[in-house]
Amino acid sequence: MIRDLGDGLVLRAATAADGDTLAAFVGDVLRVQDGDEPNRHLAAWTRDLQQARHPSFRPGDTTLVTDTRTGAIASCLHLISQTWTYGGVPIGVGQPELIGTRPAYRGRGLVRAQFDVVHGWSAERGHRMQAIAGIPWFYRQFGYELALERRLAVSACAGHTGSLTLGFYRAGVRLAFERGKVTAIEPWTVDVDVRGIEFGRPSSDPRRPLAMFPDLTFLQLLYGFRALAEIEAAFPDCIVRTGEARALLEALFPKAPSSVWPMV
């Protein structure tokens, strides 16, 4: 056992004996969106990892949260060690993957507890960085939210409570704050059924995003490549609906030394 999380839940490393149960768990909780059937592809990948078919992965590279009352798996996370190269120089990288929690156990900080462990594992293994794919923005809460809180604290928006919805026309993100602390960074669905033509004016309809950034233009703001006013001048369809949204965006994403290059 690595840690007792209370309420009958314990955090531990997986063993080879967990392989089949873990594969079934991953297939169940990581279904395709709205899918009725388990995700057999991710279940098969999990089984391969647990059977040591990956050259740099062993079962003990998986963290599990189990319920001691039932023996059931509540949550899991896999850390895959990789070697990337940059300019011919090898770089150790940790890739957190196949992360999932049963609905009944969500909202208890189980993924955060596991990230605390695997961040330590990465440091011990000499990983220079970690790379993760998954739900857009979701995993930023396990480290990156602190930068946003610091920026907010030294701005006119210090102590802000509320939410900021960003629309990317096909998808979106919602950021929620409570007294200056980040409480949520989560996918947000853009509703195409709103009434009337979109003019970017203030609106009482919460289905309309408070700011809109087409395609990948928001990345220029996120990485500090351009200030908000510069993005609006360059891209007429980048729209900020309210003064509060503008103040938040300028506080959270100031211009900074940066260079954004497209990847092909």
Summarised one tens digit per residue, pLDDT across range 187-208 is 888 766 666 666 667 677 777 8
- Please compute the mean of the pLDDT values over residues 121-149 and round it to a whole number: 71
Amino acid symbol at 81 = S
Percent of the chain with pLDDT over 90: 61
Tell me the per-residue pLDDT of 23-68, one tens digit each, with 9 for 90 and over: 999 999 999 878 899 999 999 999 999 999 999 999 999 999 999 9
Q: Are 42 and 69 in contact (CB under 8 A)?
A: no
H-type helices in the chain, by residue range?
Answer: 19-29, 40-50, 110-124, 145-153, 217-222, 228-234, 243-252
The predicted pLDDT at position 243 comes to: 93
Assigned token pair, 55: 């050259």
Q: Is the separation of the CB atoms in 63 and 117 below 8 Å?
A: yes
Q: Does 144 have pLDDT greater than 80?
A: no
CA distance linking residue 158 with residue 165, whole number of Å = 18
Q: Is the pLDDT of residue 135 over 90?
A: no
**Numbered ranges of CATH 3.40.630.30 in the chain:** 3-130
One-letter identity of residue 199: F
Mean pLDDT of 81-94: 80
Average pLDDT across the chain, whole number:
87
The pairing of beta strand 172-178 with beta strand 162-167: antiparallel
For domain 138-252, give the fold. Nonspecific Lipid-transfer Protein; Chain A (3.30.1050)
Average pLDDT for 126-132? 82
Residue intervals of the chain classified under CATH 3.30.1050 are: 138-252
Tell which CATH classification among 3.30.70.3280, 3.40.50.12780, 3.40.630.30, 3.30.420.40 matches the domain 3-130. 3.40.630.30
For residue 264, what pLDDT is reported? 38
